Amino acid sequence: MEMVNITVDGQELQVQKNSTVLEAARIAGIKIPTLCYHPELRPEGNCRVCMVEVKGARTLVASCVYPVSEGMVVNTNTVGVREARKTVVELLLANHPQDCLSCQRNLNCELQTIAADLGVRKIRFEGEKKSYPLDNSNPSLVRDQSKCILCGRCVRACSERQGVNVYSFANRGFKTTVVPAFNQGLDKVACTYCGQCASVCPTGAIVVKDDTLSVWRELANPQKHVVVQTAPAVRVALGEALGLNLGEAVTGKMVAALRRLGFDKVFDTNFSADLTIMEEGAEFLHRLKNGGKLPMITSCSPGWVNFAELFYPDLLDHLSTAKSPQQMFGAIVKTYYAEKAGIDPANIVSVSVMPCTAKKGEAAREEMKSSGYKDVDFVITTTELAAMIKESGIDFASLAEEKYDDPMGIATGAGVIFGATGGVMEAALRTLSELVTGEELKDIEFHNVRGLNGVKEAEIELGDKTVKVAVAHTLLNARALMDKIRRGEADYHFIEIMACPGGCIGGAGQPINLSAGFRQKRIDAIYDCDTKSELRKSHKNPAICELYDTWLGKPLGEKSHHLLHTTYQPQKR
Amino acid sequence: MKTLEDLKRLREQVKSQTQLRYEAKTKIIIGMGTCGIAAGARDVMTSILAEISKRKLEDITVAQTGCIGMCEKEVLVDVVRPGEMRITYGNVTPEVVPRIIAEHVVNGCIVEELVVGKME
Amino acid sequence: MEHFRAHVLICAGTGCVSSGSKKVEAALREQLAKKGLDKEIKIVETGCHGFCEMGPLVIVYPEGVFYVRVKEEDVTDIVEDHLYKGRIVERLLYKEPVSLEKVPNYSDIPFYKKQMRMVLANCGHIDPEVIEEYIAVNGYQALGKALVEMKPEDVVDEVKKSGLRGRGGGGFPTGLKWGFTRSAVGEKKYVVCNADEGDPGAFMDRSVLEGDPHRIIEGMAICGYAIGADEGYIYVRAEYPLAIKRLKIAISQAEDMGLLGENIFGSGFNFKIKIKEGAGAFVCGEETALLASIEGRRGMPRPRPPFPAVSGLWGKPTNINNVETFANVPQIINNGADWYAAIGTERSKGTKVFALTGRINHTGLAEVPMGISMREIIYDIGGGIPNGKKFKAVQIGGPSGGCLPENMLNLAVDYDSLIEVGAMMGSGGLVVMDETTCMVDVAKFFLNFTQSESCGKCTPCREGTKRMLEILTRITDGEGKDGDIELLQDMAKDIKATALCGLGQTAPNPVLSTIRYFKHEYEAHIKEKRCPAGACSKLAGYTILDSCKGCSLCKKACPVEAISGTIKAKHQIDSEKCIKCGTCLAKCPFKAIVKG
């Protein structure tokens, strides 16, 4: 790698030739303030906060996009530079609602942070402020364009990361704004509700819908038996929002906190993840043996399912008919559990805590009422749970660990790895191997489907058949795979697709984290939970076995078919 | 157009199309006042144009002017070649036009017997 | 071949067409045919002569008689008297504005005499829709010479030596830019002509495109040869339909003649040109926004480096130049760099076409050598200020430029001298202002333009121009505050330093320039709530002059008792109480009350 010599604030450095001034400065221990810059997106140089002085340049330059060159002399901290940055932030503040104290992103907003860091004490401009009606049109996300600072991150995330291209800049001058096509609500355009836009938004312009009020209401109702399920990815990120370290699994404390909040039963989505493996595994073998539609593709990521229904309606029969763990749980809790516990299902309120925004839409789907009632009543995200915990004054860090309730709280390591990209595939392979060969699997870790590569491929021996699998995360990679299938070039048998980068641990319902390698740390915590589990194969889960033996019958049986499987329709938006 | 020579050739060919808007070499001026027209200046004009066309002459402008002055000698035609005196021919008829063009305009020999005036 | 003894040139540029030149032409054709003169008199439609104030223009050759403001009804006289009888129609001649002396010949008219029409040489003299006429006046000779007798590097060197600088406003040395693009790595390269001409009031490029389109084609082809590009785009603003039409015809005719396409002049060089229409955004005149627009994306600029010379259209090395820049190229190749460098000043070579607009007698286009004084342009060529008003300032460079007051009129006009005084050459638009123009209002006008044209991508331009505009509006509404001038200057400094592209970086210039030279006007607005030029309607105040006889009629008439004074003594108006109704002015029998 070719290196160049530059000077930054008097420090002489040797940096890689293709670096930007921003990256070079970091090496020198200088963190130039930025706003529109995002470590995982291509830099654009919109906000003009990261300005620095480069000797010989006509104006100040944006360090996030300016490439280094031999002999460059940079000053990041002159009077002129600081004044310029302040003016830029002042201009943003002059056109921003001043309701920080009651905003959903209070204390967690990058505009607040930069204004504080730069020491902005006065806003010298008074004038027109932009105002737009809220976009509250859909179950997952809320858009408030008045808070938009036009950093363009949502545009970049939706196009570069997800390949869905919902957002673009529109209009000129003061009226410039970032909107979906023709300024329609997200519900009217081809949006998958994956929420990655909210995940990168620096302010409260795009936020996850807050459903906690409904949950509080139900918890306060003595007539209702409120049960909660927690997704695997929640436990490795909840701590981040409550002052604990990144990469720590806080399962025990989370369960304890949920009980304190007043949930009657605290169950684990990992249980129904195991259930999903039973059904989906059986479905896969059925297709494999009987010439069913291949490749079969997982269907537990609702962002991905929306994507398929919107963009690949011709390939919907590739999707597994198995519901997602969240929805399987909902169906089972208001039938099997209700029966077992002797509770009238009409009084059961089923809440889920998810890392995901699209899950809110999934729970609201018309067909998700197999129990005779709405299978999942309310979905709250990891950050919403953290907010509820803070609101109730629970000292999370000092809670003693508690265990999930029976029966739907018993789960295996195979269930927990659903939270990472490749986890569903690995869990399925652990079960499929033993189902097909009848022999116990010695090496149950399938490392070739783990990791952050966009598309991973592997060949697995299932008995006498070699099965080709693929694992993709982000919708951009999903698109590439689906195009391959459309062209008839895909010779895979089984594909796992997750809409979010890194899998569910990177969902938009998770606390926002900009630190380097945070996705890997959460993934490591997930696999750590798996390694520490006693049971690591879904079909060995005693609670699952009991469910089938006493109540469900067989995987793909009539009851399963009715409660645990679903259909898909093309979406026309 | 295949070569630079082709361009040059075409240029020579079409130069006459615009030439008259720029400085030309020889000027022929016909008196077209009322007396001139009455004396048949229009026919003289037509025959001059025809002769120029027949001979494919370039670098010549044919202009009209009002009454030149010597009304009894109409039709009056002035010929000015670059660097030479302004010669006024009188009693010009379509018949003598070819001679004026051939001898004076093209070859520079003034047709003395038709001259009625000379000017520097 | 027919010998036409006279050519009647009718200007068919957009300006004259709007004034009715097409009707004049139709009448002329009809009457010539009726009179039997149509075989000996040729009617030629030309492009813009530049003397737009005087249109429709008709020139009769070989005499070179210049008729102005010709109407359909005038055609009879032109045909009967001039074309048939040879008598000039005096009443249609151009008259000097002051002496009213008639000037029959085109070449004697002062507007043209002081000009050095090189880029505009053919405009108004040839039919732009007939390629043979362009060839007749040496057209495509330069392309032939470059392709057959010169190597690409030699062409670049010649342009470098000539000292030609970008005429779009940036003034970047053209040869240097061609050199960068030539040495950029890559097989596929592009030539792009920026014909977006967004500056309000500028129409130099339009006239060249309408009047001499082949010149641009030739210039672009020479550039393509020099840098190694085989494809060119002309990005024309959609508001120039006539220019687009003429370009399309010209390109098609050039293709038919083998002057565009494959193996031009047998040299092995291929070049084709496509036209891309703009969609109504000033920012698309910025080179990277223009490239984005050609690619079908939203016209928003991007940070540089990398520069278009290295990574431009579709990521390929691209050379973008303005229309006028390309128009200068053929003559440099034909006559040599030394000939070109002999014109102009030390660091600004050649000529510049200026659009004279505003309060000036001869609105139109003037091409002058660099280094001429502003005074000569405005007075000798422009004919001075109409209606006996006094010159106040001239704005150069449009919304990116600045103004020059009266005491700077002797400034030699070139790129660097203008920047030194806080103005900018820009594309060459000159807006002349007289004493009735309010300079604060001028700044507000230009800022209003840049704010509505801002693409919105970067904070300082999108938000900063809005806030500056709000401050200026307050000032012109009489709500200026102490500290506003300093605030404007601070903001201007920061916006210029942080904006992403030239639009934002130069948007504060009109403000800075008017503050620099007309600070007293700003102060009058802010401190006295008074507009010295009398232009700002909210500040239209009234003043009683010394010629007041103290008759008190005004005092009695004032509905809000804002006038005070004793009989036979000069009265006063209290500007705080005054509601600007104007009743006092109407009542005064001695004309002792004025606005302002």
C174 CB-contact burial (10 Å; exposed 0-12 / middle 13-18 / buried 19+)? buried
Interval C174-227: pLDDT, tens: 999 999 999 999 999 999 999 999 998 899 999 999 999 999 999 999 999 999
Q: Is residue C36 part of a domain?
A: yes
Contact B1 C138 (CB under 8 A): no
- In this prediction the pTM is 0.87
Which residue of B3, B4, B44, B48 to mutate against C (max C Cβ within 10 Å)? B4
| Candidates A61, A65, A94; nearest CB to C463 | A94
Beta bridge partners of C157: none
Tokens 């654009």 correspond to what residue? Answer: A44
Residues C438, C534: Cα–Cα separation, whole Å: 7
Contact call for A and C: 3+ CB–CB distances under 8 Å: yes
The two three-digit tokens of residue A352, written as one number: 């889920």
Q: Is residue C123 part of a domain?
A: no
pLDDT of res. C229:
97
| Nearest CA distance, C470 vs chain A (angstrom) | 7
Contact B27, B80 (CB under 8 A): yes
Residues C312, C308: Cα–Cα separation, whole Å: 4
Q: Is residue B1 part of a domain?
A: no
Contacts B32 to C, Cβ<8 Å: 84-86
**Chain C residue nearest residue B46, CA to CA:** C40
The C-alpha angle with vertex C39 and arms to C34 and C43, in degrees rounded to 5, equals 85
Beta bridge partners of B119: B86
Which residue of the set A47, A197, A300, A356 is catalytic?
A300
Residues A119, A126: Cα–Cα separation, whole Å: 19
Q: C89 and C225 share a domain?
A: no
The two three-digit tokens of residue C23, written as one number: 């009707």
The two three-digit tokens of residue C147, written as one number: 């392709």
Contact A152 C457 (CB under 8 A): yes
Residues C576, C581, C582, C587, CA torsion sign: negative
Three-class DSSP category at A349: strand
Any B CB within 8 A of C256 CB? no
Residues C265, C298: Cα–Cα separation, whole Å: 39
**Chain C residue nearest residue A53, CA to CA:** C497
**End residue of a domain, out of C58, C81, C113:** C113
Interval C11-59: pLDDT, tens: 988 889 999 999 999 999 999 999 888 888 999 999 888 888 888 999 9
Contact call for B and A: 3+ CB–CB distances under 8 Å: no
Domains of chain A listed by start with CATH number: 3-93 (3.10.20.740), 130-208 (3.30.70.20), 213-564 (3.40.50.1780)
Residues C283, C289, C294, C297, CA torsion sign: negative
Q: C443 and C426 share a domain?
A: no
Q: Does residue A102 have a pLDDT over 90?
A: yes
Q: Does residue C2 have a pLDDT over 70?
A: no
Q: Is residue C26 part of a domain?
A: yes
Beta bridge partners of C404: C394
| Nearest CA distance, C513 vs chain B (angstrom) | 44
The two three-digit tokens of residue C79, written as one number: 């045909």
Closest by CA to A496, choosing from A454, A550, A554, A556, is A454
| Nearest CA distance, C82 vs chain B (angstrom) | 8
Q: C468 and C412 share a domain?
A: no
Q: C429 and C443 share a domain?
A: no
**Chain C residue nearest residue B51, CA to CA:** C3
Interval C488-531: pLDDT, tens: 999 999 999 999 999 999 999 999 999 999 999 999 999 988 88
Any C CB within 8 A of A96 CB? no
Residues A461, A467: Cα–Cα separation, whole Å: 6
Contact A303, A518 (CB under 8 A): no
Q: Is the peptide bond before C330 cis (omega within 30 degrees of 0)?
A: no
Q: C100 and C137 share a domain?
A: no
Residues C469, C440: Cα–Cα separation, whole Å: 11
Three-class DSSP category at A112: helix
Lowest mean pLDDT among A261-265, C103-107, C255-259, C508-512: C103-107
Type of residue found at C306: P
Which residue of the set A140, A146, A320, A371 is catalytic?
A320
Residue B53 is part of which domain span?
24-119
pLDDT of res. B67:
67
pLDDT of res. A113:
96
pLDDT of res. B68:
64
Contact C3 B61 (CB under 8 A): no
| Candidates C300, C303, C495; nearest CB to A62 | C303
C256 contacts: CB under 8 Å, gap ≥ 6:
none
Three-class DSSP category at C504: helix
Interval A208-257: pLDDT, tens: 999 999 999 999 999 999 999 999 999 999 999 999 999 999 999 999 99
Contact A48 C298 (CB under 8 A): no
Contact B37 C85 (CB under 8 A): yes
Closest by CA to A266, choosing from A403, A411, A414, is A403
The two three-digit tokens of residue C112, written as one number: 């043209």
Active-site residue flag, A359: yes
User: For a pLDDT cut of 90, what percent of chain A falls above it?
Assistant: 94
Contact C62 B52 (CB under 8 A): no
Active-site residue flag, A283: yes
Contact C214, C251 (CB under 8 A): no
Q: Is residue B32 part of a domain?
A: yes
Residues A158, A206: Cα–Cα separation, whole Å: 13
Q: Which parts of A397-517 fold into alpha helices (H)? A: 413-416, 423-437, 475-486
**Chain A residue nearest residue C483, CA to CA:** A124
Q: What is the DSSP letter of A554?
A: S
Which residue of C1, C2, C3 to mutate against B (max B Cβ within 10 Å)? C3
Name the phi and psi angles at A408, rounded to 5: -90, 20
Q: Is residue C121 part of a domain?
A: no
Q: b vs e for C10-25, b when ≥16 Cβ sit within 10 Å of the residue's Cβ?
A: bbbbbbbbebebbbbb
Q: Does residue C1 have a pLDDT over 60?
A: no
Q: Is residue B9 part of a domain?
A: no
The two three-digit tokens of residue A524, written as one number: 């490591």
Q: Does residue C363 have a pLDDT over 90?
A: no
| Candidates B21, B57, B64; nearest CB to C7 | B21
Q: C255 and C403 share a domain?
A: no
Contact C33, C27 (CB under 8 A): no
Interval C419-476: pLDDT, tens: 898 888 999 999 999 998 999 999 999 999 999 999 999 999 999 999 999 999 999 9
Q: Is residue B77 part of a domain?
A: yes
Q: b vs e for C427-466, b when ≥16 Cβ sit within 10 Å of the residue's Cβ?
A: bbbbbbbbeebbbbbbbbbbbbbbbebbbbbbbbbbbbbb
Indicate the number of domains in chain C: 5
Active-site residue flag, A367: yes
More confident residue, A546 or C541: A546
3-state secondary structure C351-374: EEEEEEEECCCCCEEEEEECCCEH
Q: What is the CATH number of the domain that holds B110?
A: 3.40.30.10
Q: C62 and C140 share a domain?
A: no
Neighbours of A439 (CB within 10 A): 9
CB < 8 Å from C in window 62-91 of A: 62, 65-67, 80, 83-84, 87-88, 91
Contact C6 B7 (CB under 8 A): no
A67 contacts: CB under 8 Å, gap ≥ 6:
A18, A19, A20, A21, C305, C306
Residues C477, C525: Cα–Cα separation, whole Å: 9
Indicate the number of domains in chain B: 1
Contacts B1 to C, Cβ<8 Å: 257-259, 265
Active-site residue flag, A461: no
Q: C323 and C421 share a domain?
A: no
The two three-digit tokens of residue A432, written as one number: 């499929």
Interval B3-32: pLDDT, tens: 888 899 899 888 877 777 776 678 888 887
Angle between helices C459-476 and C509-527 (to 10 degrees): 30
Compute the average pLDDT of residues A510-539.
Answer: 94
Compute the average pLDDT of residues C384-404.
Answer: 92
Residues for chain A: how many in total?
A: 573
pLDDT tier at A440, thresholds 50, 70, 90: confident
Q: Kindly write down the DSSP assignment for every residue of C269-296, as one continuous string.
A: --BEEEEEE--S-GGGGSHHHHHHHHTT
The two three-digit tokens of residue C432, written as one number: 């002349």
Average pLDDT score, chain A = 95
Q: What is the CATH number of the domain that holds C547?
A: 3.30.70.20
Average pLDDT score, chain C = 92
| Nearest CA distance, B18 vs chain C (angstrom) | 7
**Chain B residue nearest residue C149, CA to CA:** B4
| Nearest CA distance, C351 vs chain B (angstrom) | 22
The two three-digit tokens of residue A98, written as one number: 């001043």
The two three-digit tokens of residue A421, written as one number: 């990209």
Contact C103, C28 (CB under 8 A): no
User: For a pLDDT cut of 70, what percent of chain B falls above it?
Assistant: 92
Q: C167 and C221 share a domain?
A: yes
Q: Is residue C535 part of a domain?
A: no
Contacts C459 to A, Cβ<8 Å: 46-49, 88, 91-92, 149-150
Q: Is residue B12 part of a domain?
A: no
Angle between helices C484-498 and C509-527 (to 10 degrees): 170
Q: Does residue A204 have a pLDDT over 70?
A: yes
pLDDT of res. A78:
95
Q: What is the CATH number of the domain that holds C277?
A: 3.40.50.11540
Active-site residue flag, A300: yes
Active-site residue flag, A280: yes
Contact C259 B1 (CB under 8 A): yes
Q: Is residue C311 part of a domain?
A: yes
Angle between helices C174-183 and C213-227 (to 10 degrees): 50
Contact B4 C265 (CB under 8 A): yes
Three-class DSSP category at C404: strand
Compute the average pLDDT of residues B56-78.
Answer: 78
Chain B residues touching chain C at CB-CB below 8 Å: 1-4, 7, 10-11, 14-21, 24, 27, 30-34, 37, 45-46, 49, 52-53, 56-57, 61-66
Q: C154 and C198 share a domain?
A: yes
ipTM of the complex: 0.89
Any B CB within 8 A of C35 CB? no
Helices and strands (H, E) in chain A, number of each type: 19, 17
**Chain C residue nearest residue A172, CA to CA:** C455
Q: Is residue B78 part of a domain?
A: yes
Q: Is residue C304 part of a domain?
A: yes
Tokens 């002057």 correspond to what residue? Answer: C259
Q: C424 and C374 share a domain?
A: yes
Lowest mean pLDDT among A40-54, A526-540, C91-105: C91-105
Active-site residue flag, A457: no
Residue C403 is part of which domain span?
351-434
Q: Does residue C542 have a pLDDT over 90?
A: no
Q: What is the CATH number of the domain that holds C99?
A: 3.40.30.10
**End residue of a domain, out of C113, C144, C171:** C113
pLDDT tier at B69, thresholds 50, 70, 90: low
Type of residue found at C194: N
Residues A440, C57: Cα–Cα separation, whole Å: 99
Contacts B75 to C, Cβ<8 Å: none
Residues A560, C255: Cα–Cα separation, whole Å: 72
Beta bridge partners of A456: A471
Closest by CA to C233, choosing from C294, C155, C306, is C294
Strands A296-297 and A494-498 turn out to be parallel
Q: Is residue B28 part of a domain?
A: yes
| Candidates C456, C464, C491; nearest CB to A171 | C456
Q: C385 and C332 share a domain?
A: no
Which residue of A35, A88, A169 to mutate against C (max C Cβ within 10 Å)? A88
Compute the average pLDDT of residues C545-571.
Answer: 91
Q: Is residue B99 part of a domain?
A: yes
